[in-house]
A and B are shown apart, each in its own frame.
Chain A
Amino acid sequence: MSTITAEARLSSRAAARAHSAVRRRRYLSNAGTLVLSAALVVWTLAPIYNMVLISLEPEGDVFTDHIWPRVASVESFWGVLTQGHWYLEHFWHQFANSLYIGVMVTFFALLFGSLTSFAIGRMRLRHGWLVSNAALLTYVIPASFLAIPFYRIMQNYGLANNPWSVIAALVAFATPYAIFVFQEYGRSIPIEVDESARIDGASPVQVYLRIYLPLMAPALVAVGTYALLLAWNEYLYQFLLLSSKSSMTVPVALAQFLSSDQSPWNYMMATAIIYALPPIAIYYAFRRRMTAGLTMGGVKG
């Protein structure tokens, strides 16, 4: 009798010890992830904090080695929004140029990409795989390497300082990805849908407009976001091709600040932050669809 209770007591003590070991391990692992999380927050936010810090400095007081804003002044943001500094005279015009290029690139990349993938995937164009493989070759030579011949060509065409030169380059660069994602996504839509519409007398254009595009909506959103952000983030081609006052975009204007040592850095950082807000909003709005686009596109594994 007494041996049994002793045994039971022993085993319960062992269980408690094991339990506390598990708890200790859990506690340590939680502490570890907390420390790593904190480190990641600092790593991620440091450059962004730096932007905010500089943008909040009153004019002429930038770079006086401190790590907190001493007098937080939002005058720079106000200056950007009201174009109140001679560096920023054309801010809204430049912003509109950036937006125009982004919207046009998105529209044409989606249009050309969906037309091509429709012809290859749904109409079974003979040797269509050649087209989609050739399109992917675009990515073998990085866009920055083609900037020099592209600049020459655009000068010969008389398209320097014309937003369409940048739109053409970016459409050429975004469309292969569009074709690729549309092809992958299109496989999930049964071809019988098209065929029955065809039997009912729908023309290829009608099938494309009424059946293909609506069914492809999720892929269109994912690729459209990609193209819009590609255009918004692009720097080199805009810098090379759009240098006149009327054609300049915000990234080129930002680079202009860098060309002088006496630039108003608080205004530059305020411009940079305002310019960064729309893409950040889009990322957070479409975050789930973007990763869905990633997994349905090439990097599926």
Chain B
Amino acid sequence: MAWAIAFVIPYAVVFSAFVVYPIAYGLWMARDPSLYRDLIANPLYAQTVVNTVLYVGLGVNVKMFLALLLSGFFMRRRWWITALLPIFILPWALPAIPAFVSFHWMLIGEEGLVDSLLSALFGIQGPLWFTDRRLALGSNIVAHIWKWLPFWTLTFFAARTAIPQEIYEAADVDGASGFRRFAHIVLPLLGNLYLVCTLLSTLWTIGDFTTVALVSGGAPSYSTNVLATLGYYYAFDAAQPTLGIAVVMSALPVLIPIAIILMRTLHTREVQL
């Protein structure tokens, strides 16, 4: 027993010093209720909350639904689909910083690749992506989907390959194909996984800093920030660290319920598959 405790101690030290302590320190820094009153009265904060909801809500759900559909597409046995898979996972393999820097320059305006293409192919003048709030927010969401779609597609793909082939064959004999096969076999078998993945992705995306910081950078005029980037802006650019930490801690009432549902779903996962 002494050995067992000794084996756990290194991680326990890391966990206390670099997880528990920073959380406690953060909560202590943001303990003043007046900070939250200031935030609620601040229109920039309200807009950031809306942005975060849009970014996470659209980004995660569109991405997961496309991943579910594409995982079925990659199940087809055609040589060009098999050849496509290694290309398709490139965004996942590519480090985030170069990828998002490239997105930023691709959309930089008439000199960017997207607007150059629009003018070369259709002769139209493309928009200035980072001067319009909706376009800039959309660019962040598209960049997020681009980066993470392969990861979730592969996850669903791995789960689909675990579905026994006989189930499909039995469904074929019964004349179920296409949409009915999807609704009666794939959805019931992958439903639980889909929920777990969506919740996990929601947690991760709420905390996403890199995408927004590098693609739109909050432009135009701080109007496309999410909580993580606004917290950073207050803490390090505006020298108001307590306000910055209050911005991110204000997400806790959303994060904790998601984590609880996630834990519960994980514990019941043995039921499926």
A residues lining the B interface (CB < 8 Å): 30, 33-34, 36-37, 40-41, 43-51, 53-54, 63-67, 111-113, 115-116, 118-120, 123-126, 128, 131, 133-153, 168-169, 171-172, 175, 179, 203-205, 208, 232-233, 235-236, 240, 251, 254-255, 258, 265, 268-269, 272-273, 275-276, 279-280, 283-284, 287, 291, 294-295, 298-301
Q: Are B263's CB and A273's CB within 8 A?
A: no
Asked whether, in the complex, the Cβ of B11 is within 8 Å of the Cβ of A276, the reply is no
B19/A172 in contact, CB under 8 A: yes
Q: Are A284 and B86 in contact (CB under 8 A)?
A: yes
Contact between chains at B101 and A112 (CB < 8 Å): no
Residue picked from A36, A44, A131, A294, most chain B C-beta under 10 Å: A44
What chain A residues lie within 8 Å of B102 (beta carbons)?
A: 47-48, 50-51, 54, 269, 272
Q: Among residues 245 to 273 in chain B, which have CB atoms less than 8 Å away from a CB atom of chain A?
A: 245, 248-249, 251-252, 255-256, 259, 263, 266, 269, 272-273
- Contact at B81–A145, with CB atoms within 8 Å? no
Q: Known A-B contacts: A149-B245, A240-B236. Give 18 more (CB < 8 A).
A: A41-B84, A43-B146, A125-B4, A125-B7, A136-B263, A137-B19, A144-B208, A145-B251, A148-B241, A148-B248, A175-B14, A232-B95, A233-B96, A269-B102, A276-B95, A280-B93, A295-B158, A295-B162
A-B contacts, 21 of them at CB < 8 A, read A40-B70, A44-B88, A46-B113, A50-B113, A67-B116, A112-B10, A116-B7, A118-B7, A125-B8, A131-B12, A133-B263, A142-B206, A142-B255, A144-B248, A145-B228, A148-B29, A204-B4, A232-B95, A233-B96, A269-B105, A294-B158
Say yes or no: is B238 at the interface (Cβ < 8 Å to chain A): no
B154 within 8 A of A: yes
Complex: A31 Cα to B21 Cα, angstroms: 57
User: Are B10's CB and A142's CB within 8 A?
Assistant: no
The secondary-structure label for the interface of chain A is: helix
Least distance between B189 CB and chain A CB atoms (Å)? 8
Of residues 1 through 46 on chain B, the ones whose CB sits less than 8 Å from some CB of chain A are 1, 3-5, 7-8, 10-12, 14-15, 17-19, 21-23, 25-26, 29
Q: Does B244 contact A (CB under 8 A)?
A: yes
Contacting A148 at CB < 8 Å: which of B26, B86, B251? B26
Closest to B151 in A: A294
Which residues of A have CB within 8 Å of B123? none
Residues in A neighbouring B146, C-beta threshold 8 A: 43-44, 47
Cβ of B97 within 8 Å of any chain A Cβ, yes or no, is yes
With A33-B73, A37-B81, A67-B113 as given contacts, are A146 and B89 in contact (CB-CB < 8 Å)? no
Which chain B residues (95-109) contact chain A, with CB distance < 8 Å? 95-99, 101-103, 105-106, 108
Residue of B11, B84, B193 contacting most chain A CB atoms (<10 Å): B11
Contact B259 A115 (CB under 8 A): no
**Min CB gap A102→B, angstroms:** 11
A54-B105, A116-B7, A141-B23 known; A172 vs B14 contact (CB < 8 Å): yes
B245, A144: Cβ atoms closer than 8 Å: no
In angstroms, Cα B94 to Cα A47, docked, is: 11
Please give, as numbers and ranges, the residues of chain B lying within 8 Å of A140 by CB-CB distance: 203, 255-256, 259
Which of the residues A144, A153, A255 comes within 8 Å of B209, measured between beta carbons?
A144
Known pairs A145-B249, A148-B245; A179 contacts B113 (CB<8 A): no
| Contact present for B204 and A67 (CB under 8 Å) | no
Q: Is the CB of A41 within 8 A of B87?
A: yes
**Do B15 and A135 touch (CB < 8 A)?**
yes
- A168-B18 contact, Cβ under 8 Å, with A115-B8, A141-B23: yes
